[in-house]
Amino acid sequence: MRYLRHGWVGLLLLGTGVGLALAQQPDQPQAAAEEGKPDSGAGESASDSPFGWGVFAGQLFGDTISELTFQGGFTPELDDSVLLGGYLTLDIGEQARLELRLAASSTTVLNTPNGDIDGTLYELDIAWIPRFGRGRVRWGMPVGAGWATFDEDADFSNPAQIPLRDPNLIASGGSGVVYFLGLQAEFPLRGRTSFVIDGRFKRYHRLQNVMERTAKTAEVTVGLRWDR
């Protein structure tokens, strides 16, 4: 049930975005015929620049972040939360895209010895995106790696609460490498604007500084992209 707690947010954004994309999608073959021009594919940008940028919002679904069960049965886990961010893109021909994406989420680590600890999760993704399909939708498969860090408002534990470790050691947020694989759909709108739906499965190497666990999360985002 934890994964569904805030799932309606992502579903609402997803449904709204799909409806917006389809509603604003012009009938390209008809428009081209009226202008006496051949159809060059839906939503082709007037710009020859390979660069683009965009913004997005969505939902991150959390997971357990520690292999350690503290005294009292506490096992820290990342809560579900809203994700916000932006990205830059570089098209490599028509069949691939390089993407640099930054995101942040104001979230909570649940079930620590010190209770629920608020903080901010920061993510940097570097993705290679093979692209295929034409017309109303261009598909892509983001694959890559990045970095994530959790900036906590308070420590997860107090001294001497971590079994078999230095009694002065405390548990807190951590940083580490992220690996991901996903699926992306891009709907051309008017001019140089596109509507983008993106889903990614991620593996975080470290979101806690000690006895960390390879957390497995998923995130669904919707956003807008502009050709430069």
Q: How far apart are CA 66 and CA 64, in angstroms?
A: 6
Let me know if residue 169 belongs to a domain.
Answer: yes
Task: State mean pLDDT over 134-154.
Answer: 94
Let me know if residue 44 belongs to a domain.
Answer: no
> Which range among 2-11, 49-58, 181-190 shows the weakest confidence by mean pLDDT?
2-11
Higher per-residue confidence, 91 vs 7: 91
Beta strands 175-188 and 51-61 are unpaired
Let me know if residue 117 belongs to a domain.
Answer: yes
69-110 residue pLDDT tens: 887 888 999 999 999 999 999 999 889 999 999 999 999 999
Domain tally for the chain?
A: 1
For residue 186, what are the domain limits? Answer: 2-39+49-227
Let me know if residue 180 belongs to a domain.
Answer: yes
Which of 174, 125, 130, 129 lies closest to 145 in space, CA to CA? 125
Let me know if residue 154 belongs to a domain.
Answer: yes
Look up residue 133 and give its two tokens.
């399909």
Let me know if residue 61 belongs to a domain.
Answer: yes
Task: State mean pLDDT over 143-147.
Answer: 98
pLDDT at 72: 81
The torsion defined by the Cα of 28, 222, 23 and 225, in degrees rounded to 10, comes to -40
CB neighbours of residue 143 within 10 Å: 14
Let me know if residue 177 belongs to a domain.
Answer: yes
CATH for 91: 2.40.160.20
